[in-house]
Amino acid sequence: MAAAAVVQIPVGATFLKTFKKSFVDVPIDAEKGNAISTAEFLEAAESLTTMFDVLGSIAFSPVKTDMLGNVEKIRKRMLAAPLASQNIQDLVRNELKTKSHTATEGLLWLVRGLEFTCIALSKNINSTEELADSFRGSYSETLMRHHSFLVKPIFSAAMGACPYRKDFYAKLGDDEQKVQEELREYLAALDKIVYILKGFLESKEAKW
């Protein structure tokens, strides 16, 4: 599989501004139990996977493919029952009523992948450690316990292939201060969404 081409960043902008949708812009309806708008959430999750292209190694391809596959499972359900799937929580509730859990299980794994990425980048931006160390630390906290002995080496290879910290941030934009400010805002929004969805997925109404 050939490595995906990294998007060109307009002059004066950052890589995050090339995203089709940012988690910062995903609607959350506090009056409906923090309901997260499905279409925008899926677009933001798809956009995040382009970050793996910036990491620059073909070793991240399985990680990206897995996340996109889970996005597709959720989108398929959304398109099959649009009125019952306008927010993520209703999509899950209504799918489970049909005795199916394909999209719900996809959401579970997608949220795990998002949490893994969010924690890794948050660890890195708030420290001086190398990306490989941040991703390894995040993996041990999040995905490792869910993975078989066959999958763990795939992720280990990806994390070992991370670029140097300085090279990674340089790829996100010319203005390092702007890159860090936007990335912090983005990660805070992603962290909030992960927190909401993890809580929902651990509730009785999301069990199958």
Q: Assign residue 173 a region: left if phi > 0, alpha if psi is -120 to 50, beta otherwise?
A: left
How large is the average pLDDT for residues 101-130? 94
- DSSP H helical ranges for the chain: 38-48, 51-55, 61-80, 88-97, 102-125, 131-141, 152-160, 165-171, 176-201
pLDDT band with cut points at 50, 70 and 90 for residue 7: low
| In the block, residue with structure tokens 């997260």 | 36
pTM for this prediction: 0.91
Of 1 and 198, which is predicted with more confidence? 198
Residue 152's pLDDT band (boundaries 50, 70, 90)? Answer: confident
Domain boundaries, the chain: 30-202
Residues 157-187: tens digit of each pLDDT: 777 778 899 999 999 999 989 999 999 999 9
Q: For 38-83, what is each residue's pLDDT tens digit?
A: 999 999 999 999 998 888 777 778 889 999 999 999 999 999 999 9
> Mean pLDDT across the stretch 71-99?
98
147-175 burial: b if 16+ Cβ within 10 Å, else e:
eeeeeeeebeebbebbbebeebbeebbee
Beta bridge partners of 37: 87
According to CATH, the superfamily of the domain at 30-202 is Glycolipid transfer protein (1.10.3520.10)
Of 133, 137, 139, 162, which is closest to residue 152 (Cα–Cα)?
A: 139
